[in-house]
Amino acid sequence: MAKEKHVSETPATQMLKKLGIPYTGHTYDYVEHGGAMESARQLGVDPHHVAKTLIMEDERARPLIIIMHGDREVSTKNLARQTGAKKIEPCTPDVAQRHSGYMVGGTSPFGTRKKMPVWMEASLLELPVIYLNGGRRGYLLEIAPQAVEQALKAGKVNVALEK
C-alpha cells in the first residue's frame, strides 16, 4: 500500500475544489514508464479502475483528451471515426506537455493549460470510482467517473482495445 503524504495543490485539485467535486488523493512512488499498471499495483487497486489521461491530436493538430482504462489501449482509428476526425494520433511528450501544462506521467484532465475537448471511454462510467491523475507524478485522485464526465463535459466513446 502506498504511503500517505501531503501533496500541495495542483491546477487539477484547485479546479475540483472550486467545482465542489469530492475526491480522495492517493500518493505512490512514481516509476518512469510504469504507468497505470504500476500505480494500480502500488495502491492495491484493479488496473481497470485506474484511468489514464492521454493527449492526442487530430489531422489539423487540434489537441484533445481521451480518458481510458489503465489496462486498455485506445483505437485511434475508432476514436477518429466516433469524434468526426479524419485521423487521430498521440501527441509527442513535449507537445502534450505544452497543451496540458502537465509533465507526462502526471497529466490530469482537470486544470489543463489549454481548453481541449474531452472524450471518455464509456465503460469507465459503469465503475463506482476511478483513479485519475491529480496533476503530479505519483498522485492519483479517487473520484466518481460521473463527476468527471459532468465537470469536463466529456463525450462518451467506445474505443478500448485489449492490451
Q: Please, which residues bridge with residue 119 across strands? A: 66, 155
For position 163, what pLDDT does the model report? 78
For position 5, what pLDDT does the model report? 55
Q: What CATH number should be reported for the domain holding residue 52?
A: 3.90.960.10
Residue 98 in any domain: the answer is yes
Residue 71 in any domain: the answer is yes
For position 117, what pLDDT does the model report? 97
Burial of 88 (0-12, 13-18, 19+ CB in 10 A): buried
Domain of residue 115: give its range: 11-137+147-162
Residue 3 in any domain: the answer is no
Is residue 58 within 8 Å of 88, Cβ to Cβ? yes
Residue 2 in any domain: the answer is no
Residue 97 in any domain: the answer is yes
Is residue 58 within 8 Å of 50, Cβ to Cβ? no
Q: How many domains does the chain have?
A: 1
Residue 6 in any domain: the answer is no
For position 1, what pLDDT does the model report? 42
- Report the chain's C-alpha Rg in angstroms: 15
Residue 122 in any domain: the answer is yes
Residue 4 in any domain: the answer is no
d(CA 96, CA 90): 8
Residues of the chain with pLDDT under 70: 1-7
For position 6, what pLDDT does the model report? 60
